[in-house]
Amino acid sequence: MFSKILIANRGEIACRVIYTARRLGIRTVAVYSDADRDALHVTLADEAVNIGPAVASESYLSKQKIIAAAQRTGAEAIHPGYGFLSENADFAEAVEAAGLVFVGPSPASIRAMGLKDAAKALMERAGVPIVPGYHGDAQEPGFLAEQADGIGFPVLIKARAGGGGKGMRRVDRREDFAASLEAAKREAKSAFGDDAVLIEKYLIKPRHIEIQVFGDSYGNAVHLFERDCSLQRRHQKVIEEAPAPGMTEEMRSAMGEAAVRAAGAIDYRGAGTVEFIADVSDGLSPDRFFFMEMNTRLQVEHPVTEAIAGVDLVEWQLRVASGEPLPKSQDELAINGWAFEARVYAEDPSRGFLPATGTLAHLRFPEGDVRIDAGVREGDTITPHYDPLIAKLTVHASDRQSALAKLTRGLEQTQVAGTTTNLDFLIRLSRQPDFAAGHPDTGLIDRDVEALTSARQPDDGALAVAAVAEAGGFAGATGGDPWLSLGPWQLWGEANRPVTLHYDRGQTHCRVTAKGRALFSVALEDRSIPLRLLAGDREARRIEIDGRQSNVTVFEASNGTTLFMDGQTHHFHRHDPLDGGEEAAAGGDRLIAPMPGLVKIVRVREGDVVAKGQALIVMEAMKMELTLTAMRDGIVESLNVGEGDQTSESAVLLSLRPEDAT
């Protein structure tokens, strides 16, 4: 076994690898960019080496800086995590050439699976079922359109170098094909530097079921069962589970065998995942699953497999990489219980899942029987430089229903203030009836997106608590006397104070009356709500609201108050009249960058007449392409950015003037 390894990654996966390495007595070296000097993964590692500026291409993607860091610290092996250089065959080769061990498959295996078209051809030869479609070299738009016709719409255009759902477009009608092809190619070019695509039959009701495989250097390969990753939005996984609901033993062994055959075809070593798409228009069936691609690395969602199989996949990776045989054979592996993983992101589901940034001013994870994989701590900042993943919650129980109940509860107990998160979306999703009944499919989230993501108005209870907080009722509440903390106005007997609460999509005027020690009455329009502060402090206080007790956490910061109650998060912000947000919502004159990013395409020039909703500027931020549209009809008065410009958050990109005000 190695005595020291370097982890060429950041965030939760770097931390996760460090924990296992420590348990095995292996010393760890972290690498970090300038933006990550104080990041959790850096402080957890025994040593850490700075590898350059925040921008990933000059740090976490710099092969040569990472190899130099390993050499400088005497690390014997490099674990690439996922993302970044994990599936980069040139990197694996350079690591080996430097006399170090790459914790992963051989460069040749990575290459064989690196491009979706070649991988499909290889799998076809190995007798693994593949999705019908075109995966040849010809790329002329006219020819591809003919292929699409032959396959029959709807089709899916995929970047052959693709990953993470990038460069992928579903096309329903022939007339949309050319535009979608162009968009897919553009996205592929910018994300992967390769714009070649393949065309596949688009399956209408598919499930994404993948098989975890593992191989060693002695020609052994096993599978560690399946994961169902059908809950996706924009082709990215949201909640994963293992095993797959409704899976029969017959189908499991058919898929497992196909996956092991796939691994065998490329002499696979280490952890890998063979992704299949299953057509479930008539339920799961052993003759209707197709190979999509193989990921030659550890997956984000590997913890669900670890939970049901009772193994530590990173330990297996390190053992196999150091030359040991597979720790277990196929018949020593069995499924125990059910597991779910949910990915908590800094993003705003009610605004099209726009990635968010911010400082995690308050961060609490559920206690007890929930596995938390986090790369951040309270006080850390989610920056636009990297993936906005905050944490993964993994739960395990004897059966699906109990595991799902645990997941919901764990999500409800997770508290994040300082950035917008997808927690509420995940909670609603965990209760979505089709999913709860064990019928996930890749279209589920899109079909139900309104109910899953619509912004919720705070209820009366939340408004009442927020009003008391805003009136200063919680000030000094730690052991203090809230009555006294109400300040001078409590001297006037039944003192009361008007409060205006501002939340995401509105505001409420109310009046808080101090009725006595720890007792308030909050008047909201036509109703009045009695509220009594019971035991506890701000962090976890029991409050009786209109005769019903709840646990409430109140987090107050300079920009507002965040409440956590009844499994929900409510943010009330201090009103800033200069805030451009309301202007945009009201159809204002200025197009504002929602986050820092790169201006990729500018579709208008000064003086152009534009219509409300028309695409004006395409930005790339946080690994996502955002199309910014006109807030209203008008004429472009000034254009402040050009293609290739880097902009900061809230920068005014262009302004409009009304058409008649020439």
Q: Which residue numbers are catalytic?
A: 297
Say whether residue 277 binds ligand ADP (CB under 6 A).
yes
Binding marks (x or -) toward ligand ADP, 134..173, rule CB under 6 A? ----------------------x-x---xxxxx-x-----
The CA-atom distances, in angstroms, between 618 and each of 331, 593, 595, 604, 641 are 52, 10, 12, 11, 11
Stretch that binds ligand ADP, among 201-209, 214-222, 256-264, 353-361 (CB under 6 A): 201-209
Tokens representing residue 415 in the block: 């508290």
Say whether residue 358 binds ligand ADP (CB under 6 A).
no
Closest CB to ligand ADP among 95 and 624?
Answer: 624
Stretch that binds ligand ADP, among 24-32, 104-112, 200-208, 340-348 (CB under 6 A): 200-208
Return d(Cα 209, Cα 255) in angstroms, integer: 9
Return d(Cα 201, Cα 170) in angstroms, integer: 10
Q: Scan for tokens 């939005």, then name that residue.
A: 233
Please state the closest distance from residue 617 (CB atom) to ligand ADP, in A: 25
Say whether residue 78 binds ligand ADP (CB under 6 A).
no
Say whether residue 206 binds ligand ADP (CB under 6 A).
yes
Say whether residue 232 binds ligand ADP (CB under 6 A).
yes
Say whether residue 199 binds ligand ADP (CB under 6 A).
no
Please state the closest distance from residue 184 (CB atom) to ligand ADP, in A: 11
Say whether residue 628 binds ligand ADP (CB under 6 A).
no
Please pick, from the candidates 45, 85, 115, 131, the single residue that binds ligand ADP as defined by CB under 6 A.
131
Identify the three-state secondary structure at position 502. strand
Please state the closest distance from residue 442 (CB atom) to ligand ADP, in A: 4
Return d(Cα 539, Cα 527) in angstroms, integer: 28
Closest CB to ligand ADP among 76 and 117?
Answer: 117
Other CB atoms within a 10 A radius of the CB of residue 552 amount to: 24
Residues contacting residue 378 through CB under 8 Å, at least 6 positions apart = 360, 361, 362, 363
Q: Which residues pair with 2 in a beta bridge?
A: none
Please state the closest distance from residue 117 (CB atom) to ligand ADP, in A: 11
Residues contacting residue 11 through CB under 8 Å, at least 6 positions apart = 39, 41, 375, 376, 386, 387, 389
Say whether residue 202 binds ligand ADP (CB under 6 A).
yes
Other CB atoms within a 10 A radius of the CB of residue 543 amount to: 24
Q: Scan for tokens 């255009």, then name that residue.
A: 157
Please pick, from the candidates 235, 288, 328, 532, the single residue that binds ligand ADP as defined by CB under 6 A.
235
Closest CB to ligand ADP among 232 and 415?
Answer: 232
Site for ligand ADP in 428-487 (CB under 6 A): 442
Binding marks (x or -) toward ligand ADP, 288..317, rule CB under 6 A? ----xx------------------------
Say whether residue 208 binds ligand ADP (CB under 6 A).
yes
Check if the beta carbon of residue 64 is closer than 8 Å to that of residue 56: no
Total residues binding ligand ADP (CB under 6 A): 22
Question: Strand 646-647's sheet: what is its strand order?
Answer: 624-629, 615-621, 597-602, 646-647
Return d(Cα 432, Cα 449) in angstroms, integer: 11
Return d(Cα 128, Cα 289) in angstroms, integer: 10
Q: Which residues pair with 638 in a beta bridge?
A: 655
**Helix or strand holding residue 222 (H, E):** strand 221-233
Closest CB to ligand ADP among 162 and 215?
Answer: 162
Closest CB to ligand ADP among 228 and 347?
Answer: 228
Identify the three-state secondary structure at position 383. coil
Closest CB to ligand ADP among 184 and 512?
Answer: 184
Please state the closest distance from residue 230 (CB atom) to ligand ADP, in A: 7
Closest CB to ligand ADP among 38 and 434?
Answer: 434
Closest CB to ligand ADP among 166 and 227?
Answer: 166
Check if the beta carbon of residue 597 is closer than 8 Å to that of residue 385: no
Identify the three-state secondary structure at position 571. strand
Other CB atoms within a 10 A radius of the CB of residue 574 amount to: 12
Interface residues with ligand ADP (CB under 6 A) are: 131, 156, 158, 162-166, 168, 200-203, 206, 208, 232, 235, 275, 277, 292-293, 442
